[in-house]
Chain A
Amino acid sequence: MADRKNPKTLFISGGMSGIGKSLAHEYLRRGADIAIFDLVVDQDVLRELEASRKNQSQRIAAYQASVTDFEQLAAAVAQAVDAIGAPELAINSAGIQRAQPFGELSQEDFELVIQVNVFGTRNFSAAVLPTMQSGSRLALVASMAGFAANYSYAAYGASKFAVVGLGRVLRLECKPRGIDVSLICPPEVDTPLVVEELKNMHPVSRRLKDIGGSLSVEEALKGIIAGLDAGRGVIIPGVKAKITYLSNRYLPDFLMNTLVDYIVRSELKKMGSTAKPSDGVAL
Chain B
Amino acid sequence: MKKTVYITGGSSGIGLGLAHFYTKKGDDVVLIARDQDKLDVAVKSCESQSVVASQVIAGESLDVTAYQSLPAAMEKVVARYGLPDLLILCAGVAGNKTLLDTPAEEFDSIVNINLGGSREMARAVLPGMLQRGSGQLAFVSSMAGLIGLYGYGAYSASKFAVTGMVQALRQELAGSGVSVHLVCPPEVNTPMIAAENEVSVPQTRFLKDLIGTMEPEVAAEKIAQGIHKHKAVIIPGVRANVMVWMSRCFPELFARSSELLLRWRFS
Question: Could you tell me which A residues sit within 8 Å of B by CB distance?
Answer: 70, 101-103, 107, 110-111, 114, 118-119, 122-123, 125-126, 129-130, 145-146, 149-155, 157-173, 175-176, 204, 208, 233-234, 249-250, 253-254, 257, 260-261, 264-265, 268, 276-278, 280-283
Interface of A is mostly: helix
Q: Decide if B152 is an interface residue (CB 8 Å cutoff).
A: yes
Smallest Cβ-Cβ distance to B144: which chain A residue: A165
- Interface residues in B91-113 by Cβ distance below 8 A to A read 98-100, 104, 107-108, 111
Could you say which residues of chain B place their CB within 8 Å of the CB of A167?
A: 148
> Could you say which of B150, B157, B171 has the most chain A C-beta atoms within 10 Å of its C-beta?
B171
Q: Decide if B151 is an interface residue (CB 8 Å cutoff).
A: yes
Q: Are B255 and A168 in contact (CB under 8 A)?
A: yes
CA distance A160 to B148 in the complex (A): 14
- A158-B164 contact in complex given A110-B119, A149-B171, A281-B176, C-beta closer than 8 Å: yes
From residue A127, how far is it (CB to closest CB) to chain B in Å?
10
- A173-B98 contact in complex given A165-B157, A261-B175, A278-B130, C-beta closer than 8 Å: yes
Could you say which residues of chain A place their CB within 8 Å of the CB of B99?
A: 122, 125-126, 129, 166, 169-170, 173
- A257-B170 contact in complex given A161-B163, A165-B159, C-beta closer than 8 Å: yes
- A152-B172 contact in complex given A118-B157, A126-B99, A169-B150, C-beta closer than 8 Å: yes
Could you say which residues of chain B place their CB within 8 Å of the CB of A163?
A: 157
Could you say which residues of chain B place their CB within 8 Å of the CB of A277?
A: 172-176
From residue B128, how far is it (CB to closest CB) to chain A in Å?
10
From residue A172, how far is it (CB to closest CB) to chain B in Å?
4
> Could you say which of A122, A126, A170, A172 has the most chain B C-beta atoms within 10 Å of its C-beta?
A172
Which of A110, A173, A254 is B153 in contact with, Cβ under 8 Å? A173
Q: Are A173 and B161 in contact (CB under 8 A)?
A: no
From residue B47, how far is it (CB to closest CB) to chain A in Å?
35
Range, interface on chain B: 35 or more
Q: Are B233 and A158 in contact (CB under 8 A)?
A: no
CA distance A257 to B173 in the complex (A): 12
From residue A212, how far is it (CB to closest CB) to chain B in Å?
14
Proximity string of chain B (134-149) to chain A, C-beta cutoff 8 Å, 1 when within and 0 when not? 0000000000110111
CA distance A12 to B121 in the complex (A): 37
A-B contact pairs, 16 of them (CB 8 A): A101-B172, A118-B111, A130-B100, A149-B168, A153-B164, A153-B168, A154-B165, A157-B165, A162-B160, A165-B144, A168-B148, A169-B149, A169-B151, A173-B99, A176-B266, A260-B171
CA distance A149 to B174 in the complex (A): 13
Which of A119, A172, A250 is B148 in contact with, Cβ under 8 Å? A172
Q: Are A122 and B153 in contact (CB under 8 A)?
A: yes
Q: Are A161 and B161 in contact (CB under 8 A)?
A: yes
Q: Decide if B212 is an interface residue (CB 8 Å cutoff).
A: no
Could you say which residues of chain A place their CB within 8 Å of the CB of B162?
A: 158
Could you say which residues of chain B place their CB within 8 Å of the CB of A233?
A: 251-252, 255
Q: Decide if B262 is an interface residue (CB 8 Å cutoff).
A: yes
From residue A200, how far is it (CB to closest CB) to chain B in Å?
16
Q: Are A118 and B161 in contact (CB under 8 A)?
A: yes
Which of B130, B164, B255 is A161 in contact with, Cβ under 8 Å? B164
Smallest Cβ-Cβ distance to B261: which chain A residue: A172
Smallest Cβ-Cβ distance to A163: which chain B residue: B157
Which of A164, A249, A257, A268 is B249 in contact with, Cβ under 8 Å? A249
